[in-house]
Structure 1
Amino acid sequence: MENIYGGGRRTNENGLRFERETSLDSALAAAGCRISGNRVYLGGEWIAVSAPKNELYTVILGPRGVDWRARISRKILPDEALLNRMNNTLYILEKKFQQAAGSVDEKLQTCDFKKRQYEKLTAGTGISRVEYGYVLCDFFRQAQYRDVREYIEAVGCWYEFREVPLSRLGLGFI
């Protein structure tokens, strides 16, 4: 059967482009922050720590003595994470790009479970709260995703389309 949706390599290329276009650090820099390593500064004040993928464990959780193996059964990697130092909240951002119905459809329904896993990881670390949200491509605006979008919000997670939701990250300046 002919692949009419351009999956495989082309979907991966488009997905990677979407991830670059929705970079947390780029959005923070555009809003006037300075990024140095993983630290985010605003006007000279260290306000947050930005950590993609495995850096969540090395930069945010490791220094707090967290060994993920002792807390959860399988390591989970966020697309991007931000620890807001002003409100001690860890914000997990997952980016989902899709061009046709497929496996990402069901991944959107795992937000509650993943948020709970991140809460297990942060328990007793001084991180007071975990927020979990999606940055979605326009494909998920379709009516067939209405129930999933409603579910995401019903379980205390959130979503935005095509942009990093700086206003949701508790930084106060946006």
Structure 2
Amino acid sequence: MKKGGVGGANTKTGLTFELQTDLPTFIANQKDYNVIENDFDFVISKKTGKLLKYKRKKVARWLVEFKGKRVAEIFQQHGLYRYFDEVKLDYKKVISRKLLPDDSIFVIDNNTVFIIEKKTQNGSGSVDEKLQTCDFKLKQYKKLFSPLNKEVKYYYLLDDWFLQPSYKDVLDYIISVGCEYRFKYLPLKEFGLPVPEEDYEIK
């Protein structure tokens, strides 16, 4: 988990995940939430054939609890594939190449995996074209989670650079293929996660 992350803000839609922090840091800072490191390497024992697990120093998987009840799991980058190792899903039989999400969260109540890709830009460049790949990536993620019977939603979290009129067609395209985008903030409520009561009140 990255240190020094910025916590959520009180808004009319509840706490908001911000572009400049990472998801486990953000959620860990919220009232009634507990984020637990849950990242292991999995090895099959040559002697017994059993699946053994060893805790990793660099963590990219977490469990999320709200008031002591497990509500979600967070995966970053390769941590997603260690989750597949744990549930014994061979991703290579489903897709031909790994997709590495900046942040992703599986919310238990709605059985949905939210993929979150952060994009920042200060000039025309490669990010422009990457925004147009969301259709392919969403389809690949859906294929990946289909054997586990999980739904998938794909979000871009963008900075203000992409508010320029020249991005209108790209942003319209993102919506047209079933993906979503937000600028700078993404409400916790949008994941279907519990929002602490005192922060959800409209002030």
TM-score, scaled to structure 1: 0.82
2:35: which partner in 1?
Answer: 35
How far 1:163 sits from its partner (Å)? Answer: 2.4
1:81: which partner in 2?
Answer: 104
Q: Secondary structure at the match of 1:123?
A: helix
Q: Distance in 2 between matches of 1:120 and 1:141?
A: 31
Q: CA RMSD in A?
A: 1.7
Q: Secondary structure at the match of 1:124?
A: helix
1:16: which partner in 2?
Answer: none
Size of the aligned set, in residue pairs, is: 154
How far 1:34 sits from its partner (Å)? Answer: 1.3
Q: Secondary structure at the match of 2:121?
A: coil
2:121: which partner in 1?
Answer: 98
Give CA deviations for 1:4-42 in whole Å, capped at 9, x if unaligned.
xxxxxxxxxxxxxxx982311222233322111100111
TM-score, scaled to structure 2: 0.71
| Matching residue within 146, 158, 163 for 2:168 | 146
Q: Distance in 1 between matches of 2:194 and 2:67?
A: 13
Q: Secondary structure at the match of 2:147?
A: coil
Q: 1:15-54 counterparts in 2 under 5 A?
A: 21-32=20-31, 33-37=33-37, 38-54=62-78
Q: Secondary structure at the match of 1:48?
A: strand
Give the direction of change, closer, same or farther, for the CA distance of 1:27–1:164 in structure 2 (3 Å limit).
farther
Relative to total residues, which structure has the larger strand share, 1 or 2?
A: 2
How far 1:55 sits from its partner (Å)? Answer: 0.5
1:15: which partner in 2?
Answer: none
2:156: which partner in 1?
Answer: 134
Relative to total residues, which structure has the larger helix share, 1 or 2?
A: 1
Q: Which has the larger radius of gyration?
A: 2
